[in-house]
Amino acid sequence: MTTDTAAWVRANAWTQAMRKTYAEVPGFYTACACENGTSGWCQIGQCGDCPRGEPLRGAETVIVSRRHRGAPALFAEPYAHPSDISATGPKFERVALVWLADRVCAWTCPHSCHHVGHLTRDQLDLLDLVES
């Protein structure tokens, strides 16, 4: 989408709350999950508490319900596959999510504690089994 088209969408299709968020924190709408940096846990030296050594896939947006005054639309049954939409781990959501069709964007904590040289012995044994 061009810059002019994006500006038109913000001016004509977005809600006032969305425009306010964009004015205050534009990255909420423009930043990609893969651009997120080191987790807060790793930043304070508590790497053992960081759950993001594996990619956290992010949905692009949520479909809202007019009937329920802007609350997320829900499917009758949860997705058949887990949808990682929070740092607490995989969930089988009923929320109507929108995913990018041409790519999967995901965030992985880039801190060095997540690299193979820093894995525990049990994790290295598992990797050895996979490689053989």
pLDDT digits (tens, 9 = 90+) for 69-86: 778 888 888 877 766 556
> Between the ranges 42-46, 60-64, 65-69, where is the mean pLDDT highest?
42-46
Percentage of the chain beyond pLDDT 70 is 73
The predicted pLDDT at position 56 comes to 66
pLDDT in tens, 104-114: 777 788 888 87
pLDDT at 117 over 50: no
- Nearest residue to 36 (alpha-carbon basis) of 56, 61, 60, 59: 56
Q: What are phi and psi of 9, to 5 degrees?
A: -60, -45
pLDDT at 37 over 70: yes
Average pLDDT of the residues in 5-16: 89
C-beta atoms surrounding 50 within 10 Å: 19
Domain with 122, as residue range(s), is 3-131
Predicted pLDDT at 124? 39
> How high is the pLDDT of residue 8?
92
**CB-based burial, 74-110: b 16+ in 10 Å, e otherwise:** eeeeeeeeebbbeeeeeeebebbbeeeeeeebbbebe
43: region left, alpha or beta (phi > 0 left; psi from -120 to 50 alpha): alpha
What pLDDT does residue 54 have? 65
- Tell me the three state secondary structure of residue 85: coil
Average pLDDT over residues 6-26: 89
Percent of the chain with pLDDT over 90: 7
- How many domains, the chain? 1
> Residue 26: is its pLDDT beyond 70?
yes
